[in-house]
Chain A
């Protein structure tokens, strides 16, 4: 949807980030209108309030009326300012609703994009960086929709309203206000253009800064061992100070824009004040100056700062716009990342009826910026068969499994997988989510009973562990829960396979990082899996796994070596 609307607004290609931000706003129109309505209401209430104040003062000073005569007017002023406060509240709350709605929608788009890109293309990206895009960069969109966007309209409408009133009271005073006013957007535009470029540069600096920091903290043990602790500390400090210098460059410009605005506002108010003062004294003969009285003079004076206030507020929210534009650039880069057309075809649904569990025909695969990683290669795996893939590291074992799982599309050839439920997947980094043991298992079978969970854990060799756990299936796992050792994590992932209805099981070096004890458990479990009639494809160096396979296929440089993999087996046993 966003893609369509983006290309639709490409008539203004000057700033794609701004077009993208506008496109996100279509769904929040009602809230946006409400924010505008409340803003205008507040402006009208302000008008009544200030007019009332000026009138009361004038009546008291000129007509000599006291509080006894003036209390109804005071009451009106009180009511108007209450309305003003309430409308102001309404504007803020409606604006925030816009911001929250956009954040949710953009996050949904981003997640959908991540899913479309798939695990292989994401492998080269900083997962922490992506997470911060999804959470923190999206956060920085809020201010734009909540505050800046409604204020853009109000900064135009409200000063015009006040100007009309001043014009009616005394046209020369309106001229004084107008002299400063047109200069403001001009200056803002000039300065804003520079500020935006700087802001984008700064956004990149922030990303680099946190990436650098995270990376160094992650490898702190290694830094200690290599005696690089002090050098790294100095580096972190340098990078932070570099960030400060960059930020100050941005801020100097940003603050200058609001200072220019404030200066004109202040000068304008001062000029109006002096004009009114001199006019009241009768020192000015020109134009309507002689018509000034205390009521109109005071009213104009009170309106003068209010005339500039919406613009000043806008400039205060200018950084909301700038940071939203900066974030938009990063988010668009992610959203615009091309997903090859053929990937949809890579989904494990066959184009022609498949009799085998997996069928590959003259498949070729290459990664961006690298040589061909796989193929040409043909392979047929029967249902219930156990196939071991062996070969030196980098020979394409993982790529072959990824191709079958549908994470990447073949550049040439045909991949077909028997229709049916999901595919079970296990690699060396099992996913453990924040949550209970049960939640971790039910990821793959949301409706599984507790008994089924117990059985699966038993099959995976976690029965004893479960019995020892005080909270059983409700034991919290992940960061805030019980830490699982590498071997236990792997067995948890195995339990998922047992629990899942998937008939095709893909295993990428499932025993590579395990100690012999866990290895034995995992191998035994995999044998039970094979016996249960599932189809297993396993990339491995492990002799026991090769031994249980019906077929051992050797891969070298992305091609199948037709001879069965006995040499590998011997090598591993030596």
Chain B
């Protein structure tokens, strides 16, 4: 019992946040369940009443001239028939709409949480696979209400209701139904969940592993093809695929077995009710029509149980998906703060005795740096020395562990990140372009920019000629992560985007990386001109990779974290 108990706790803990999301639409959910119940009751009614009607008429025909009212039961049969169709149509439509609404809520909610994550958390989860998993996991959760919550409740209500109904006519038949169908219901829900738990839980991860292999195949195809290593890698692919297929086969077999069990138990229950009815018939405790009504009604209960085995053998997958979403969207405390007021004059930026500890290791220690308004300062350091960390502190991607940073006369740790970032143009080390047009990527810097402005900024980064030669010009799609562009082109598009932003404080992290010497010279010149009058923090691995600066510092690694030293 204890593994079951821990399993249930586990399940509840993973699903709780998502049940909360469902709770927000409680009214819709109850109405949806009521429609489901109405459908099932109509089915029960249709079959039971028809059985009663036919037997009763046969008996009436045998017992010679009596008046038999055919109209009331006849119209009852018709009413149930129409009600079943109508309620089923409405139920399906209404519930699917609910589920899709929930899905949109989930996506929006998850994204809103991700947007608030800080840089440290995000850097742990950058890979494309992680993102794919995210969407797949959200999709898996759509099972929750439509398959796992409402149907078992409705089925149980139908079983109990019909058993009570049967007790009115023949108590022992009611008890038989309870004794057979309640355990069946338990087997189809709890039993199937336990039976499929391991394999379905694992299936989610295996499907993910297969996706990872597929991404490897695509992204590493150059290396794999050249080396003739495709076959070796396919071996890895095949073993993942085999694992996935094995799990699916296992789950399929178990679902099929549970379906067969449903048929068997329901039909046996019907035969049992019939046998009891026959016994009662001879003692005249029950009429023949009632006997047939109960037998056929029992058969109709199966309709409410049909979907349960499939849904519950996959419960482990739902739980796994929920678990991973919980882990990946765990909230980091929101860093609120005051909003900056005033105009866009070049600000000062000051680091005072700044220290930052990451994973138990000091990355920066005792960093003092003053950028006066309009001053351009270079910081030189090897990659991994903490240059980018300096920049991330300035945009409040995270706060320092000791010391403070000041933006004009405000402490950065007290400013709202959005308000601060609105004043800063920051070119990150990686050029993050979006799967969109060249123009749309540039306009992220300034949504209101005219085409003429876009062309002007492209001119500055020496891309105008290239862009003009493109058949679709500014409307050219840049491809996933800007892959349709060469590394140097993507870099310059990212730079142009920052320039469009026209902010008083600029941080450029390796602005010229990936550019050939000639282009680098052209861009350097344009940058020098553009930077005049702005406060700028420029980061690179060597001074030659930057435009001219007012002063130059080197970030020197030390056992206690990197520190700044002036360069001649």
- Is B432 engaged at the interface, CB distance under 8 Å to the other chain? yes
Do the beta carbons of A213 and B107 come within 8 Å of each other?
yes
Checking A61, A217, A248, A431 against B59 with a beta-carbon cut-off of 8 angstroms, the contacting residue is A61
Which residues of chain B have C-beta atoms less than 8 A from A255's C-beta?
89, 92-93, 96
Do the beta carbons of B122 and A131 come within 8 Å of each other?
no
Do the beta carbons of B268 and A297 come within 8 Å of each other?
no
In the complex, the 10 A-B pairs of residues with the closest C-beta atoms, listed nearest first: A431-B220, A393-B488, A515-B383, A571-B517, A425-B226, A266-B81, A237-B108, A131-B214, A240-B104, A92-B256
Which residues of chain B have C-beta atoms less than 8 A from A61's C-beta?
55, 58-59, 281, 288
Which parts of B92-130 form the interface with A (CB within 8 Å)? Answer: 92-93, 96-97, 100-101, 103-104, 107-108, 111-112, 114-117, 119, 122, 126-130
Q: How far is the CB of B299 from chain A (nearest CB, A)?
A: 8
- Is B566 engaged at the interface, CB distance under 8 Å to the other chain? no
A270–B50 CA distance with the chains assembled, in angstroms: 8
- Is B216 engaged at the interface, CB distance under 8 Å to the other chain? yes
Which residues of chain B have C-beta atoms less than 8 A from A56's C-beta?
274, 278
Stretch touching chain A among B174-182, B227-235, B368-376:
B227-235
Determine the residue in chain A with the shortest Cβ distance to B220: A431
- Is A107 engaged at the interface, CB distance under 8 Å to the other chain? yes
- Is A8 engaged at the interface, CB distance under 8 Å to the other chain? no
Determine the residue in chain B with the shortest Cβ distance to A268: B81
A479–B209 CA distance with the chains assembled, in angstroms: 10
Q: How far is the CB of B229 from chain A (nearest CB, A)?
A: 4
- Is B362 engaged at the interface, CB distance under 8 Å to the other chain? no
- Is B54 engaged at the interface, CB distance under 8 Å to the other chain? yes
Q: Identify 14 new A-B residue pairs, CB closer than 8 A, beyond the known A222-B428, A393-B486.
A: A96-B253, A100-B249, A118-B225, A229-B418, A267-B81, A294-B54, A298-B54, A301-B50, A422-B226, A427-B222, A443-B229, A443-B233, A487-B383, A515-B384
Which residues of chain B have C-beta atoms less than 8 A from A293's C-beta?
58
Which residues of chain A have C-beta atoms less than 8 A from B46's C-beta?
266, 269-270
- Is B279 engaged at the interface, CB distance under 8 Å to the other chain? yes
Which residues of chain B have C-beta atoms less than 8 A from A433's C-beta?
213, 216, 220, 233, 236
Question: A274 and B489 in contact (CB under 8 A), knowing A135-B210, A282-B61, A394-B466?
Answer: no
A428–B514 CA distance with the chains assembled, in angstroms: 10
A278–B136 CA distance with the chains assembled, in angstroms: 56
Instruction: List, sorted by A's number, 6 A–B pairs whose CB atoms are closer than 8 Å.
Output: A85-B264, A124-B479, A237-B108, A255-B92, A301-B54, A444-B232
- Is B217 engaged at the interface, CB distance under 8 Å to the other chain? yes
- Is A391 engaged at the interface, CB distance under 8 Å to the other chain? yes
Question: A252 and B93 in contact (CB under 8 A), knowing A85-B263, A443-B232, A509-B487?
Answer: yes
Question: A240 and B107 in contact (CB under 8 A), knowing A136-B136, A217-B134, A225-B395?
Answer: yes
Which residues of chain A have C-beta atoms less than 8 A from B270's C-beta?
53
Determine the residue in chain A with the shortest Cβ distance to B226: A425
Do the beta carbons of B274 and A244 come within 8 Å of each other?
no
Question: A369 and B541 in contact (CB under 8 A), knowing A86-B260, A215-B480?
Answer: no
Which residues of chain A have C-beta atoms less than 8 A from B232's C-beta?
442-444, 446
Q: How far is the CB of B103 from chain A (nearest CB, A)?
A: 7
Which residues of chain B have C-beta atoms less than 8 A from A470's C-beta?
none
- Is A517 engaged at the interface, CB distance under 8 Å to the other chain? yes
- Is B77 engaged at the interface, CB distance under 8 Å to the other chain? yes
Which residues of chain A have C-beta atoms less than 8 A from B68's C-beta?
281
Do the beta carbons of B517 and A479 come within 8 Å of each other?
no
Q: How far is the CB of B511 from chain A (nearest CB, A)?
A: 14
- Is B212 engaged at the interface, CB distance under 8 Å to the other chain? yes
Which parts of B178-236 form the interface with A (CB within 8 Å)? Answer: 207, 209-230, 232-234, 236
Question: Interface size (A, Cβ < 8 Å)?
Answer: 163
Question: A513 and B55 in contact (CB under 8 A), knowing A131-B132, A278-B70?
Answer: no
Which residues of chain A have C-beta atoms less than 8 A from B82's C-beta?
263, 266
Majority DSSP secondary structure for residues of A touching B: helix
- Is B248 engaged at the interface, CB distance under 8 Å to the other chain? yes
Which residues of chain B have C-beta atoms less than 8 A from A276's C-beta?
54, 57
- Is A354 engaged at the interface, CB distance under 8 Å to the other chain? no
Q: How far is the CB of B328 from chain A (nearest CB, A)?
A: 10
**0/1 string, A224-264, CB within 8 A of B gives 1:** 11111110110011001101100110011001101100110
Checking A77, A266, A281, A478 against B271 with a beta-carbon cut-off of 8 angstroms, the contacting residue is A77
- Is A32 engaged at the interface, CB distance under 8 Å to the other chain? no
Do the beta carbons of B135 and A214 come within 8 Å of each other?
yes
Question: Interface size (B, Cβ < 8 Å)?
Answer: 156
Do the beta carbons of B428 and A221 come within 8 Å of each other?
yes
**0/1 string, A431-443, CB within 8 A of B gives 1:** 1011100010011
Which residues of chain A have C-beta atoms less than 8 A from B326's C-beta?
none
**0/1 string, B27-70, CB within 8 A of A gives 1:** 00000000000000000001100110111111111100000101
Which of B130, B268, B383 has the most chain A CB atoms inside 10 A of its CB?
B383
Determine the residue in chain B with the shortest Cβ distance to A369: B471
Do the beta carbons of B274 and A57 come within 8 Å of each other?
yes
- Is A104 engaged at the interface, CB distance under 8 Å to the other chain? yes
Q: How far is the CB of B210 from chain A (nearest CB, A)?
A: 5
Do the beta carbons of A85 and B260 come within 8 Å of each other?
yes
Do the beta carbons of B85 and A259 come within 8 Å of each other?
yes
**0/1 string, B121-165, CB within 8 A of A gives 1:** 010001111111011100000000000000000000000000000
Do the beta carbons of A512 and B227 come within 8 Å of each other?
no
Do the beta carbons of A443 and B58 come within 8 Å of each other?
no
- Is A210 engaged at the interface, CB distance under 8 Å to the other chain? yes
Which parts of A430-487 form the interface with B (CB within 8 Å)? Answer: 430-431, 433-435, 439, 442-444, 446, 478-479, 485-487
A402–B223 CA distance with the chains assembled, in angstroms: 11
A222–B92 CA distance with the chains assembled, in angstroms: 41
Determine the residue in chain A with the shortest Cβ distance to B436: A215
- Is A11 engaged at the interface, CB distance under 8 Å to the other chain? no
A123–B480 CA distance with the chains assembled, in angstroms: 9
**0/1 string, A92-112, CB within 8 A of B gives 1:** 110011001001100100010
Question: A571 and B214 in contact (CB under 8 A), knowing A221-B122, A429-B219?
Answer: no
Which parts of A170-212 form the interface with B (CB within 8 Å)? Answer: 210-211
Checking A103, A220, A226, A262 against B85 with a beta-carbon cut-off of 8 angstroms, the contacting residue is A262
A86–B257 CA distance with the chains assembled, in angstroms: 8
- Is B382 engaged at the interface, CB distance under 8 Å to the other chain? yes
Which parts of A498-524 form the interface with B (CB within 8 Å)? Answer: 500, 502, 506, 509, 512-518
A56–B53 CA distance with the chains assembled, in angstroms: 18
Checking B51, B56, B97, B432 against A248 with a beta-carbon cut-off of 8 angstroms, the contacting residue is B97
Determine the residue in chain A with the shortest Cβ distance to B104: A240
Q: How far is the CB of B4 from chain A (nearest CB, A)?
A: 26
- Is B518 engaged at the interface, CB distance under 8 Å to the other chain? yes
Which of A88, A222, A402 has the most chain B CB atoms inside 10 A of its CB?
A222
